[in-house]
Amino acid sequence: MNTKVLVAPSPHVHSGDSIQKNMYGVVFAMLPALVFSFVYFGMGAIIVTLTAVASCYLFEFLISKYLLKKVPTITDGSALITGILLAFNVPANLPIWIILIGALVAIGIGKMTFGGLGNNVFNPALVGRVFLLISFPVQMTSWPKPLGFDTAYFDAQTGATPLALIKEGLKKGEPLSQLMHDVPGNMDLLMGNMGGSMGEVAGIALLLGLAYMLFKKIITWHIPVAVLGTVAVFSGILHMSNPEAYAGPLFHILTGGLLLGAIFMATDYVTSPMSNKGMIIYGIGIGLLTVIIRVFGAYPEGVSFAILIMNAFVPLINVYVKPKRFGEKRK
Amino acid sequence: MLKTFSLGGIHPAENKLSASSAIQVLPIPETVSIPISQHIGAPATPVVKKNDEVKVGQLIAKSSGFVSANIHSSVSGTVFKVDDIMDASGFRRTSIIIKVDGDEWMETIDRSEDLVKEISAGKEEIIKKIAEAGIVGLGGATFPAHVKLSVPPGKTAEVLIINAVECEPYLTSDHRVMLEKGDEVLVGTQILMKALGVDRAIVGIENNKPDAIAHLTKLAGNYKGIEICPLKTQYPQGGEKQLISATIKREIPSGALPIEVGAVVQNVGTALAVYEAVQKNKPLFERVATITGKSLKNPSNWKFRIGTPVKDLIDAAGGLPEDTGKIVGGGPMMGKALTTVDVPLTKGSSGLLLLPREEAVRKESKPCIRCGKCVSVCPMGLEPFLLMVLADKKAYERLESDAVMDCIECGSCSFTCPANRPLLDYIRLGKGKVGQIMRSRK
Ligand code: SF4
Ligand code: SF4
């Protein structure tokens, strides 16, 4: 025989799927939301995104090369995702030096201390975000108004998010039906015409991203549906029990970072459970915690905290929630 | 909604390049080399010696236990020697080498092409004839067919399931058999039903073979109790457990056999062999195989005499392509890579796949990104990423409790993993070890 043939065990073919394909697939799914944020917040959004992405790449490169002394694997696309997600999670007028700190915490503490991609317990972008929220509460909660592309970066007009408006109002004892006049209507909320973090406002763009990721089989429906379904049911029950004290399901779903969290952050491969059953339990946990923090907690928004808390339970979920085995008696 | 199995599954590129190529007859070679172990179970015992004259269909090695199978000569000629030769996996195995002279068949074999529909043999006689003919599962498992037909005491068979799924990409031999030998397959099915004492049979066919489904559905009207069941094209639809789950919605418990849920599964090629053995007195000494590959000149299907060199099949299809990187015996998902083409085709040879080098080379394995895709595609509901880690750490107790023995080695996990992790390689090692530990406990 003239050729040397390879001998290896089956299977002899591969799907052609790769880490890069999935990571860049997620990035592609984030593009609509990115475009919306540029349109709404103008220069600010562009500066914040570029800074976040560039610094995430840089920190990952430096840390893996000089601290961990490994060959940096920044081409896998995960630093790009962390950068964009970090940008999505901050106001579009956040000073550059604060973004740098956020990126350092996200990549340094959130990802590399655990050993890099695949080993981290918490979603890196959220670690960065929550660190900034606690350290720089003022800068992190002055939301520029979505005025369009000519919004100035440094002296943008700022306003509160709908969630904060409602929370403040309710504290003062104003009835919800009254407060609802001050927040944008559902259509405006869906299109993103409200104050908030850069990437969270345009619900429609986020949903488009979800559809793409489902179509490309990058993620499955389990986590987003479990999170959103739980929020809808739980806030719906509260709303029905007292419509003047609790906002309805649609308001909860369309405001704040819920869609962004449910679609792009709770679904992070590394920090979410492996089995479908586990994913549903994890999603329900996030949904419940989000509503509890929003309604009863000190912060108007609770998605980030809810996801980070459930991230911590993922190792436990993976050990105790096994997939349904073939041939197992159905209960 | 088309029927399919209950958990997981993938859809690899089908690549059924040879589907429209009618079965051709491969010329008889100058010598054949027939291994005495072409089945699961004990190797057969040779009953011929050097210089013996043999005819086509003559017994040359005798079944040596309950789980074993007879071996017959596929040619007429003189026994040249009985010796150890290299088999496809590179092991030395005893084979009977026969120098061919003419093509003289045993007189007992009915060589006419007439369809014999009337089944005169009784239950016992059928099972005896199948055992005598040395029939084994022709889907690739090569489990002796008569053993599956002997229902253990205390169990009853309710339904016969004919595996005509052919879910492996590239392979088309079952497809062609259904199109060209439809009636024979259905009579074979009725014989198997009689042997089992069941009045219902289901033929499961993936819906990527609409012509076979249409053809058999038309013919099945003439046979009592046979249903043709189109199935979704989804791998591993032809796994025994998956096929039962798809056709009769019952899941075999871990570690149990199909008879536990009242089912017996036989391959469609086996049904044809059963027809020939019972109605025509013809032992299993030839079968159909696919020779295929993207660079191959002529992907096609051939009826060959057992013991014919693999090389002859490749030459018949236009010769080994320059860019061949891997020669796979069987399909791309579960087939075995051959070390050389100087090995014989056997009862288990359902196909030969020549993969171009760039497809054959595995990509570099990366760290697990915990995407969970291996879990969601596993048809057995296992956690391949975890089993790999446990096998690597030699944590055999945990491997056992995480059901490693349930793995059917379908390869869906390794196929899917975006990090190119060799999941099944490790799982196989773990399975081997855990199997040993379990046996030593008994
Ligand atoms: S090879 Fe085993 S572990 Fe992998 S998908 Fe198939 S049954 Fe599951
Ligand atoms: S498919 Fe591969 S990367 Fe994904 S969880 Fe399984 S082993 Fe890890």
Cβ contacts of residue A135 below 8 Å, gap of 6+? A101
Query: What pLDDT does A147 receive?
Result: 63
* Contact between chains at B366 and A14 (C-beta distance less than 8 A): no
- In the structure encoding, which two tokens stand for residue B246, read together? 């798809």
Q: Is the pLDDT of residue A319 over 60?
A: yes
What is the average per-residue pLDDT within A221-227?
Answer: 97
Among protein residues, the one with the nearest Cα to ligand 2's atom 8 is B368
CB of B410 closer than 6 angstroms to any ligand 1 atom: yes
Let me know: does B246 contact B4? Beta carbons within 8 Å: yes
Let me know: does A311 contact A269? Beta carbons within 8 Å: no
Which SS3 state, helix, strand or coil, does residue B92 take?
strand
- In the structure encoding, which two tokens stand for residue B83, read together? 């010796």
Q: Ligand 2 centroid vs A224 CA: distance in angstroms? A: 20
- In the structure encoding, which two tokens stand for residue B328, read together? 């796979």
Closest residue by Cα to residue A166 from A248, A228, A69, A222: A248
Tell me which of A254-268, A276-290, B90-104, B267-281 is least confident: B90-104
What is the average per-residue pLDDT within A297-302?
Answer: 83
The domains of chain B are located at: 26-109+284-359, 123-280, 373-441
Tell me which of A4-13, A193-202, A251-260, B203-212 is least confident: A193-202
Closest residue by Cα to residue A107 from A153, A174, A59: A59
Distance from first CA to last CA of chain B, Å, rounded? 45
- Neighboring chain A residues of B384 at a CB cutoff of 8 Å: none
Q: Count of A–B CB contacts within 8 Å?
A: 163
- In the structure encoding, which two tokens stand for residue B327, read together? 């020669």
The amino acid that residue A190 corresponds to is: L
Q: What is the DSSP letter of B309?
A: B
Name the pLDDT band for A1 (thresholds 50, 70, 90): very low
Query: What pLDDT does A330 receive?
Result: 54
What is the average per-residue pLDDT within A271-291?
Answer: 95
Q: Is the pLDDT of residue A155 over 80?
A: no
Let me know: does B180 contact B212? Beta carbons within 8 Å: no
Nearest Cβ partner for A117 among B361, B369, B403: B369
pLDDT over 90 percentage in chain B: 80
* Contact between chains at B381 and A324 (C-beta distance less than 8 A): yes
Q: How far apart are CA B267 and CA B141, in angstroms?
A: 10
Q: What is the pLDDT of residues A111-126, one digit of tens each?
A: 888 877 788 899 999 9
Closest residue by Cα to residue B133 from B72, B209, B46: B72
pLDDT over 70 percentage in chain B: 99
Task: Kindly provide the ipTM of the predicted complex, given to two decimals.
Answer: 0.87
CATH of B26-109+284-359, one of 3.40.50.300, 3.40.50.970, 3.10.20.600, 3.30.200.20: 3.10.20.600
Fold of the B123-280 domain: Rossmann fold (3.40.50)
Chain A 55-94, residues with CB within 8 Å of chain B CB atoms: 76
Let me know: does A132 contact A115? Beta carbons within 8 Å: no
